[in-house]
């Protein structure tokens, strides 16, 4: 077999309910010169048997079986054996369009780029949203451009973390000796991307919607019991930033403060919603801990007034509630928002 143009690494853990759809989206790729490396991370369902059945039909499928070590360990093992010019990642419950890798590989070659970034389509509760970025499109971004556009966005937003809507040059990953951090329960994608983009010399951003993310039970925003999202956000906020970033300390602090506050707003919605995983008291205590935390209050003071004014009325009210540490205000606002959204749904149905 000739060297594949693209290697795709897919960590698998008890994903049998969605895995077949993922595999089909890979096998129907218009770019034929691919290899698909499935790393079965100790699944106890019939995920392994599903992959083996497809492996018999298509030589491009590779399968590694291992005990459960987590997604980072699985991805690292997949990258170790990858042979492609470029490496992509996909989660076992997600899908890609039939010409995703054809499109991004052509861009990578056309512009001789170390990475291609493309749009991710997120589906939560049946509603789709396209994740896009304010970067120049379809032009080669050099190191100075990466530090002007991409690095500040990573400081301010969390929507760039995923490795699944990016195609990385394997030679660059090997040269940098990049690996996913195996001791992190959350944020492993973000840390990987930080290490990559701080050293990257070139990038291409395409508005091609090639990756479809589907939130399922047990995925990030649902797994409340095992993962402490707020503590992770605090660690990220307090983590020192490498000297290689060409920005002043006040600029960096402001962008990080904005990111933390937007994370807290998202977590408030997650923890206020009723769930079987946590009691009402546990959820209320978690929200209370967030809004009373001195770091959150510090971030509020750093959040630029002109940026607050640009927020929607609802988010401005939530920010005001956080500032005054009003748990009642947050519960009232989110309850009204849910009621209003239900009403809108009834009108459109």
Q: 219 to each of 124, 275, 348, how far by Cα in Å?
A: 11, 14, 29
What pLDDT is attached to residue 247?
81
Provide the percentage of residues in the chain whose pLDDT is more than 70: 92
Give how far Cα 70 sits from Cα of 11, 214, 229, 231, Å.
9, 20, 17, 20
**pLDDT grade, residue 218 (50/70/90)?**
very low
Q: Are 138 and 204 in contact (CB under 8 A)?
A: yes
Report yes or no: 82 and 173 within 8 Å, Cβ to Cβ.
no
What whole-number distance in Å separates Cα of residue 317 and Cα of residue 325? 12
**Mean predicted confidence (pLDDT) in 249-272:** 91
The enclosing H or E element of 336 equals helix 327-348
Q: What is the DSSP letter of 215?
A: -
Average pLDDT over the chain, rounded to an integer? 91
At residue 293, does pLDDT exceed 90? yes
Label residue 314 by pLDDT band (50, 70, 90). very high
337-349 pLDDT, tens digit per residue, is: 877 766 665 544 4
Q: Are strands 61-66 and 34-41 parallel, antiparallel or unpaired?
A: parallel
Between CA 81 and CA 35 the distance in angstroms is: 11
Angle at 175 between CA 169 and CA 176, to 5 degrees: 95
pLDDT per position as a tens digit, 183-200: 776 788 999 999 999 999
Cβ(172)–Cβ(218) under 8 Å?
no
**Residues sharing a CB contact under 8 Å with residue 340, sequence separation 6 or more, in sequence order:** none
What's the rounded Cα separation, in Å, for the pair 131 and 165? 10
> What pLDDT sits at residue 215?
75
Q: What is the mean pLDDT of residues 56-77?
A: 96
Higher pLDDT, 324 or 219: 324
Report the DSSP pairing between strands 166-169 and 115-124. antiparallel
Q: Minimum mean pLDDT among 71-75, 133-137, 173-177, 211-215: which range? A: 211-215
pLDDT given at position 243: 66
CA distance 317 to 311: 10
């Amino acid at each position: 077999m000739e060297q594949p143009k693209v290697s795709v690494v897919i960590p698998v853990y008890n994903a049998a309910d969605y895995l077949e759809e993922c595999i089909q989206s890979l096998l129907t790729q218009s770019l034929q010169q691919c290899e698909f490396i499935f790393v079965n991370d100790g699944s106890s369902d019939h995920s392994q048997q599903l992959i083996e059945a497809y492996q018999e039909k298509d030589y491009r499928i590779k399968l590694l079986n291992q005990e459960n070590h987590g997604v980072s360990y699985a991805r690292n093992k997949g990258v170790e054996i990858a042979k492609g010019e470029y490496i992509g990642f996909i989660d076992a419950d997600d899908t890609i369009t039939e010409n995703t890798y054809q499109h991004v590989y052509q861009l990578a070659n056309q512009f001789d780029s170390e990475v291609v970034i493309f749009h991710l389509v997120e589906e939560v509760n049946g509603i789709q949203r396209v994740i896009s970025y304010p970067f120049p499109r379809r032009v080669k971004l050099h190191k100075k451009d990466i530090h002007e556009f991409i690095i500040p966005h990573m400081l301010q937003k969390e929507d760039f973390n995923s490795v699944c809507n990016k195609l990385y040059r394997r030679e660059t990953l090997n040269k940098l000796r990049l690996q996913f951090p195996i001791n992190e329960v959350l944020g492993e994608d973000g840390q990987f991307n930080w290490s990559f983009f701080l050293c990257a010399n070139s990038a291409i951003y395409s508005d091609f919607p090639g990756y479809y993310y589907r939130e399922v039970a047990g995925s990030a925003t649902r797994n409340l019991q095992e993962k402490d999202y707020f503590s992770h956000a605090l660690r990220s906020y307090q983590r020192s930033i490498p000297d290689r970033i060409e920005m002043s300390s006040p600029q960096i602090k402001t962008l990080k403060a904005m990111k933390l506050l937007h994370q807290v707003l998202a977590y408030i919605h997650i923890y206020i919603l009723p769930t079987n995983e946590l009691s009402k008291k546990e959820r209320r205590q978690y929200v209370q801990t967030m809004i009373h935390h001195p770091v959150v209050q510090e971030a509020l003071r750093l959040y630029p007034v002109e940026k607050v004014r640009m927020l929607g009325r609802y988010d401005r009210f939530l920010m005001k509630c956080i500032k005054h540490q009003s748990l009642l205000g947050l519960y009232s606002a989110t309850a009204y928002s849910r009621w209003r959204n239900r009403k809108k749904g009834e009108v459109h149905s």
